[in-house]
Chain A
Amino acid sequence: MPDEAPLFEIDGARFTAGGHTLLGPLSLSIPGGTFVALIGHNGSGKSTLLKILARQQPGEGAIRFRGRALADWGDRAFARELAYLPQVTPTGSGLLVRELVALGRYPWHGALGRFGAADRAKVAEALALTGLDPLAERMVDTLSGGERQRAWIAMLVAQDANSLLLDEPISALDIAHQIEILNMIKDLAHRRGIGVLAVLHDVNMAARFCDHIIALQGGRLIAQGPPAEILQPGPLEAIYGIPMGVMTAPDDGLSFCYAR
């Protein structure tokens, strides 16, 4: 476990819709400063939890973000601390990559503030960090899926927040781009000390790139710990409800699981 202060402290969070409990009651502390994966089967409540943490939808229970109750944060102050990427990003905006990334500066300059040298520098830095310099003057809509996802992440980087919440950031990408995006996120987390919480579908990817895994099932916490602890037949069977096996690749020692 990293020794940083927790990113989120969740106490008795719940979310119900139409009489069904989609989440909780859930009590959990999410560590900061590392790359944390949120896994679980379909309908386990992982996206719901992420949306509640990102203040995209209201939930019951006490949730503290960086030691302060979630509801007490102002809109822009919150956005300066935390950046969120929804699962589906809009198309057809007509924006250039550079312009999209620059929108990430809104929490800092607001509706009327000047877009100053500091803002420009942050945008340039985000473009460089995500390798988007050659694409900066292209229209976002004309990019490939992987490039577009990088552009959106660059916007989050320009937002200069200390924490990122990502909802299935790699679900629509091929494997090469999945690896590329996850490497980039991991880099961000480790080099800049940004706390990342990402919903991931692929437990092998989560185990390979993340420092900590939180698993939900039926809206409740079922397991959490470092990848080595989660990537075992016992916990995996509990999470997914089917017999699972784990093996280690002979050449480079990577572990991965499979359904038996």
Chain B
Amino acid sequence: MGERLRLGPGSLVGGLALAALGMSVATLALRLPPALWIDALASPDPSDVRQMLVRYSFAPRLATSLLCGGALGLAGALLQLALRNPLASPTTLGVSAGANLALAMAMLWAPGLLAVGREWTAMAGGLVAALLVLGLSWRRRLSPLTVVLAGMVVSLYCGALAAMLALFNSHYLAGLFIWGGGSLSQQDWTIAQFLTPRLALALLGAALLVRPLTLLTLEDDQAKGLGLSVPLIRLAALALAVALTGLVVGTVGVIGFIGLAAPALVTVAGARRVAARLLWSTLLGAVLLWLTDQSVQRLAGDFAEMLPTGAITALIGSPLLLWLIPRLRLTLQPPTGLGEAAARARRPLLILAALTLLLVALVGLSLAVGYGLEGWSVSGDLAEWRWPRAFAALAAGILLACAGGTLQRMTGNPMASPEVLGVSAGAAFGLIIAIFALNEIGRAAQLGAATLGALLALLAMLALARGSAAAPERVLLVGIALGAMFDALVTALMAGGDPRALQLLNWMTGSTYAATATDAGVALVAAFASLAALPLLARWLDIVPLGGAISGALGLPPRRSNRVLLVATAAMTAVATLVIGPLTFVGLMAPHLARFLGLQRALPQLVAAALIGGILMVAADWFGRTAAFPWQIPAGLTATFIGCPALMWLLARRQRA
């Protein structure tokens, strides 16, 4: 058992607040002599630019960071309590992404709405996303893992839609991008004045919910037995959380991580009762964002106005979260294996044959059919130019699906995938370091760096998530933290304005545009090698999800099997990431799609997953090439666009016993 943390939420918040205060004072001292501080805040001299900047930029920015952080901390705590889910937060439930998408759509098609109130638009978007998530997981009785899976899918989908809108309307939405990253820079006190009374109201509402939420910490049935209307209270808490998130997204943009980290940290620090958790989460959220924002201003210097704080919160939040995960007491169900069982297919071979046919047909379509200046055309002449990207996409799909399926079985966690667990992020990170640190770097060296990065991320994940049987929630949290940290670093690099960063952006969205014949060849060889290795690993993959006790009792060599599977997963992820970038989510979707088709044994499931991964990526590549000619939609983005609705439909479908 981990040692108990004798910190107390008070000293945690106090310590971080002191650090933030110290930074603020130091920054302020650089901008204005301390003798003028009182003057600047109370009655600034309009002729002194320094005083005006403190009065109308520095001070309101500080206030806004406190208010937004507090709102998000409270929203996260409300969601975690109402859903009894340690992973719930505005970001993981898709509320932030929904709000952001609603704003983007309003900006394009109904600018009038924004005049009425951005926050209302954002709230509506967030509410729709949240209701969609709950609807999708309703049949599974809102089981925590299903809720988070649904949240991730909805979040991804909203993100992909917003990215597509941005791609086609870049001139309109450029502003949305910077602000979508959660920029806290202020010109006056409007936003702070706008947020203060609303946050106070929300706190009042939360205070009214303390008692019902306390009952809700019991099982639903018990709470009902004590006379509580469970759905009503859930809905009330949810509405409050969505409102808070909508306020923040509507005023400063998406700020990730605070809503997840603050309530989790507070719980670890020892806040137990509902009222304490709500209050301390609010305070800690405020202090965390304050600290982050001050660090951004301090470290980024002149770039500070361009560097969106929201994207950087993870830089401070993730290490904190990583540190606390081993100490986090999660009230858990016993290991759930691969999630709720789906029905079994009677004829698995038939399904595999159908999938293969579909894949072959799609590859043919992709090579022969195109859309050009003269409209649609069917010809084999262009295959020479088209095959590298089509086959690169195919190979990446196969590799990611195999890696995802292997990870899901290895960790006994239905939500595992290279993207979710931060393995892709690790690979991408290794690659970025290599590109930035070494000058001319060959493809082989890139591959080595990516593999190393993926392996390190996997090892970190497994090491941190050890103990108490690697609870799925724990593993997921580690992955989310690693992924968020990577995103923040990439954002920081981008904001630095390095020309190489642009190249990265293209690659990160999963574009196959630049794939060369060599790339495709290497990726294809890797994909076929993985497929050939599947039968060799199938027996392990059947037994491993049954847990350590069973696989040990059956004489599975625990260290060797883990090591082999680990290295295999890292290598597959690295090759795929190199080709298609870290953000496709095919590795999450394909194994689930295979499972929902009724393929449960390791071998058929993984083969089907590989086929589905290939289908998704080839279709995505073709669609991205033709749908918006002459523009190219990156295949990774399109794959998310195609795969997410399929996964949503499968999630919501009634399960036959």
Chain A residues in the interface with B (C-beta under 8 A):
18, 54-56, 74-80, 83-86, 88-96, 99, 103-104, 106-107, 110-112, 139, 141-142, 159
Evaluate whether A103 and B542 lie within 8 angstroms (CB atoms) in the complex, with A75-B555, A86-B550 already known. Answer: yes
Does the CB pair A94–B341 fall under 8 Å? yes
Query: Which residue in A76, A91, A106 is a CB contact (below 8 Å) of B336?
Result: A91
Query: Which residue in A83, A99, A112 is a CB contact (below 8 Å) of B553?
Result: A83
- Chain B residues, CB < 8 A from A99: 542, 601
Q: Which of A75, A76, A94 has the most CB of B within 10 A?
A: A94
Q: Tell me whether B328 is interfacial, beta carbon within 8 Å.
A: no
Given contacts A92-B338, A92-B339, A93-B600, 12 further A-B contacts (CB under 8 A): A54-B553, A75-B555, A86-B553, A89-B550, A90-B412, A90-B545, A90-B546, A93-B546, A96-B344, A103-B546, A103-B554, A139-B344
Q: Which of A85, A89, A106 has the most CB of B within 10 A?
A: A106
Chain A residue nearest in CB terms to B340:
A92
Does the CB pair B545–A91 fall under 8 Å? no
Does the CB pair B657–A142 fall under 8 Å? yes
- Chain A residues, CB < 8 A from B546: 90, 93, 103
Does the CB pair A75–B553 fall under 8 Å? no
Chain B residues in the interface with A (C-beta under 8 A):
1, 334-342, 344, 412, 536-537, 539-540, 542-543, 545-550, 552-558, 595, 600-601, 657
Q: Within the assembled complex, what's the spacing in Å between the Cα atoms of A77 and B338?
A: 29
Chain A residue nearest in CB terms to B559:
A75
Shortest Cβ distance from residue B508 to the other chain A in the assembled complex, whole angstroms: 34
- Chain B residues, CB < 8 A from A79: 553-555
- Chain A residues, CB < 8 A from B338: 92-94
- Chain B residues, CB < 8 A from A142: 341, 657
Does the CB pair B554–A141 fall under 8 Å? no
Shortest Cβ distance from residue A171 to the other chain B in the assembled complex, whole angstroms: 14
Does the CB pair B556–A106 fall under 8 Å? yes
Pairs of residues from A and B, 5 with the lowest C-beta to C-beta distance, nearest first: A79-B555, A92-B337, A94-B600, A76-B555, A84-B553
Query: Which residue in B337, B412, B549, B555 is a CB contact (below 8 Å) of A94?
Result: B337
- Chain B residues, CB < 8 A from A159: 554
Does the CB pair A92–B336 fall under 8 Å? yes
Does the CB pair B553–A94 fall under 8 Å? no
Shortest Cβ distance from residue B413 to the other chain A in the assembled complex, whole angstroms: 11
In the complex, 30 of the A-B residue pairs with CB atoms within 8 angstroms, ordered by the A residue number, are A56-B548, A56-B549, A56-B553, A78-B555, A79-B554, A80-B555, A86-B549, A86-B550, A86-B553, A90-B546, A91-B334, A92-B338, A93-B341, A94-B595, A94-B600, A94-B601, A95-B542, A103-B542, A103-B543, A103-B554, A106-B539, A106-B543, A106-B554, A106-B556, A110-B539, A111-B537, A112-B536, A112-B539, A142-B341, A142-B657
Chain A residue nearest in CB terms to B600:
A94
Q: Within the assembled complex, what's the spacing in Å between the Cα atoms of A104 and B547?
A: 14
- Chain A residues, CB < 8 A from B340: 92
Q: Within the assembled complex, what's the spacing in Å between the Cα atoms of A56 and B540?
A: 18
Evaluate whether A95 and B553 lie within 8 angstroms (CB atoms) in the complex, with A103-B542, A103-B543 already known. Answer: no
Shortest Cβ distance from residue A137 to the other chain B in the assembled complex, whole angstroms: 9
Does the CB pair A75–B412 fall under 8 Å? no
- Chain B residues, CB < 8 A from A110: 539
Q: Within the assembled complex, what's the spacing in Å between the Cα atoms of A54 and B554?
A: 11
- Chain A residues, CB < 8 A from B336: 90-92
Does the CB pair B540–A111 fall under 8 Å? yes
- Chain B residues, CB < 8 A from A95: 542, 600-601
Chain A residue nearest in CB terms to B412:
A90
Does the CB pair A84–B549 fall under 8 Å? yes
Q: Which of B1, B412, B542, B552 has the most CB of A within 10 A?
A: B552
Shortest Cβ distance from residue B605 to the other chain A in the assembled complex, whole angstroms: 8
- Chain A residues, CB < 8 A from B545: 90, 93
Shortest Cβ distance from residue A109 to the other chain B in the assembled complex, whole angstroms: 8
Does the CB pair A107–B335 fall under 8 Å? no
Does the CB pair B536–A88 fall under 8 Å? no
Q: Within the assembled complex, what's the spacing in Å between the Cα atoms of A90 and B339?
A: 11
Q: Within the assembled complex, what's the spacing in Å between the Cα atoms of A194 and B412?
A: 32
- Chain A residues, CB < 8 A from B537: 111
Chain B residue nearest in CB terms to A96:
B344
Chain B residue nearest in CB terms to A113:
B539
Q: Within the assembled complex, what's the spacing in Å between the Cα atoms of A56 and B600?
A: 27
Evaluate whether A139 and B341 lie within 8 angstroms (CB atoms) in the complex, with A55-B552, A103-B554 already known. Answer: yes
Does the CB pair B334–A90 fall under 8 Å? yes
Q: Within the assembled complex, what's the spacing in Å between the Cα atoms of A106 and B556?
A: 8
- Chain A residues, CB < 8 A from B1: 18
Q: Which of B336, B542, B549, B556 has the most CB of A within 10 A?
A: B549
Q: Within the assembled complex, what's the spacing in Å between the Cα atoms of A241 and B53?
A: 76
Q: Within the assembled complex, what's the spacing in Å between the Cα atoms of A86 and B657?
A: 26
Q: Within the assembled complex, what's the spacing in Å between the Cα atoms of A187 and B651?
A: 45
Chain B residue nearest in CB terms to A17:
B1
- Chain A residues, CB < 8 A from B344: 94, 96, 139
Q: Within the assembled complex, what's the spacing in Å between the Cα atoms of A112 and B556?
A: 12
- Chain A residues, CB < 8 A from B543: 103, 106
Q: Within the assembled complex, what's the spacing in Å between the Cα atoms of A111 and B535?
A: 9
Does the CB pair A94–B557 fall under 8 Å? no
Query: Which residue in B337, B549, B555 is a CB contact (below 8 Å) of A93?
Result: B337
Q: Within the assembled complex, what's the spacing in Å between the Cα atoms of A142 and B341?
A: 9
Chain B residue nearest in CB terms to A18:
B1
Q: Within the assembled complex, what's the spacing in Å between the Cα atoms of A84 and B555?
A: 10
- Chain B residues, CB < 8 A from A80: 555
Q: Within the assembled complex, what's the spacing in Å between the Cα atoms of A39 and B553?
A: 22
- Chain A residues, CB < 8 A from B549: 56, 84, 86
- Chain A residues, CB < 8 A from B600: 93-95
Q: Within the assembled complex, what's the spacing in Å between the Cα atoms of A107 and B340?
A: 28
- Chain A residues, CB < 8 A from B341: 92-94, 139, 141-142
Q: Within the assembled complex, what's the spacing in Å between the Cα atoms of A54 and B550?
A: 11
- Chain B residues, CB < 8 A from A103: 542-543, 546, 554
Q: Within the assembled complex, what's the spacing in Å between the Cα atoms of A110 and B335?
A: 25
Does the CB pair B337–A107 fall under 8 Å? no
Shortest Cβ distance from residue B497 to the other chain A in the assembled complex, whole angstroms: 49
- Chain B residues, CB < 8 A from A93: 337-338, 341, 545-546, 600
Chain A residue nearest in CB terms to B333:
A91
Q: Within the assembled complex, what's the spacing in Å between the Cα atoms of A110 and B554?
A: 10
Q: Within the assembled complex, what's the spacing in Å between the Cα atoms of A89 and B337?
A: 10
Shortest Cβ distance from residue A144 to the other chain B in the assembled complex, whole angstroms: 13
